[in-house]
């Protein structure tokens, strides 16, 4: 995989060009080329490219095959089963109440870890599956919760935690159906994700419903929260787990 080729496919899929991207991101040709080549000098450019592309900066790092900076990584250990309880509750809520839940999650402070969190780099070879699973990781989803979210938001599975690991190693095919499911969890347009990873979609995907879109945003907003903070949300918006 090649980051520059990924960006070229994405822009083509959207009917855009490099010049429009440079104008939107306020970067020049040399800065863009450095970012596309994965050079150290180009890493700061990713933060300007991300909003212009409508994606998270962490996801651009992963697409480029780079390590996500520690200040952008989740600051809490992966949540336990309470995350699934909160997501199930959120999916049942009416729109307005779900928006309130989102607001509460966004307003919660980052927890102060008792000890620094040491995260080992996943040993996946750079490829489409590795990109997908690493994007799940920056949403603080371990293999088990990734499988649960895929089932809750896209109705795929339930898969085993081991299957997510196999995806990361590139040993399970990313079918259009599976890609659409991951896109829903990651809050990506499936057409964008398919273009980035060079996967052909056999047919147009139906639009994601509002509840799924909101909960995918919620998963992103909860990535820094501790299990105790998630329990507080669950107690406020649903039946305590």
CATH number of the domain that residue 54 is part of: 1.10.260
Same domain, residue pair 96 and 157:
yes
Q: Is residue 69 part of a domain?
A: no
pLDDT of residue 113: 63
Same domain, residue pair 232 and 130:
yes
Is the pLDDT assigned to residue 42 strictly greater than 90? no
Same domain, residue pair 100 and 40:
no
pLDDT of residue 116: 55
Same domain, residue pair 116 and 202:
yes
Taking CA atoms, 49 is separated from 32, 103, 125, 169, 207, in Å, by: 9, 26, 25, 28, 25
Q: Is residue 178 part of a domain?
A: yes
Q: Is residue 108 part of a domain?
A: yes
Same domain, residue pair 130 and 192:
yes
Of the given ranges (21-30, 61-70, 197-206), which has the lowest mean pLDDT?
A: 197-206
User: Is there a contact between 139 and 186 (Cβ–Cβ < 8 Å)?
Assistant: yes
- pLDDT per position as a tens digit, 158-171: 999 999 999 999 99
Q: Is residue 169 part of a domain?
A: yes
Is the pLDDT assigned to residue 117 strictly greater than 60? yes
Is the pLDDT assigned to residue 204 strictly greater than 80? no
Print the domain residue range for 146: 82-237
pLDDT of residue 188: 95
Same domain, residue pair 26 and 97:
no
Q: Is residue 68 part of a domain?
A: no
The two tokens of residue 96 are: 């307005």
Same domain, residue pair 35 and 100:
no
Is the pLDDT assigned to residue 220 strictly greater than 80? yes
User: Is there a contact between 136 and 164 (Cβ–Cβ < 8 Å)?
Assistant: yes
pLDDT of residue 60: 94
CA atoms within 13 A on the CB side of 79: 30
pLDDT of residue 75: 85
- pLDDT per position as a tens digit, 45-82: 899 999 999 999 999 999 998 889 888 989 888 888 99
pLDDT of residue 33: 86
The two tokens of residue 92 are: 């049942």
User: Is there a contact between 203 and 214 (Cβ–Cβ < 8 Å)?
Assistant: no
Same domain, residue pair 115 and 210:
yes
pLDDT of residue 228: 93
Residues whose CB falls within 8 Å of the CB of residue 238, separated by 6 or more in sequence, listed in order: 85, 86, 88, 89, 92
Whole-model pTM over 0.85 = yes
Q: Is residue 199 part of a domain?
A: yes
Mean pLDDT across 225-239: 91
Residue with tokens 């809520």: 93
pLDDT of residue 241: 45
Number of domains comprising the chain: 2
């Amino acid at each position: 995989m090649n980051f520059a080729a990924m960006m070229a496919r994405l822009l083509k899929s959207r009917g855009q060009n490099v010049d429009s991207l440079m104008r939107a991101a306020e970067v020049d040709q040399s800065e863009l080329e450095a970012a596309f080549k994965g050079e150290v000098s180009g890493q700061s450019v990713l933060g300007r490219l991300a909003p212009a592309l409508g994606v998270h900066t962490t996801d651009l790092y992963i697409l480029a095959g780079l390590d996500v900076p520690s200040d952008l990584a989740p600051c809490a250990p992966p949540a336990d089963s309470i995350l699934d309880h909160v997501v199930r509750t959120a999916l049942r809520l009416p729109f307005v109440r779900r928006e309130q839940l989102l607001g509460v999650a966004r307003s919660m402070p980052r927890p102060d870890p008792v000890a620094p969190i040491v995260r080992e780099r996943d040993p996946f070879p750079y490829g489409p599956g590795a990109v997908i699973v690493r994007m799940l990781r920056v949403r603080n989803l371990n293999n088990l919760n990734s499988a649960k979210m895929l089932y809750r938001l896209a109705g795929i599975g339930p898969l085993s935690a081991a299957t997510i690991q196999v995806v990361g190693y590139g040993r399970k095919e990313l079918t259009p159906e599976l890609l659409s499911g991951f896109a829903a969890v990651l809050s990506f347009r499936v057409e964008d994700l398919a273009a980035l990873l060079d996967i052909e979609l056999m047919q147009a995907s139906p639009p994601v419903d509002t509840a799924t879109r909101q909960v995918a945003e919620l998963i992103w907003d909860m990535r820094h929260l501790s299990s105790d903070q998630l329990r507080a949300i669950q107690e406020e918006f649903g039946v305590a787990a």
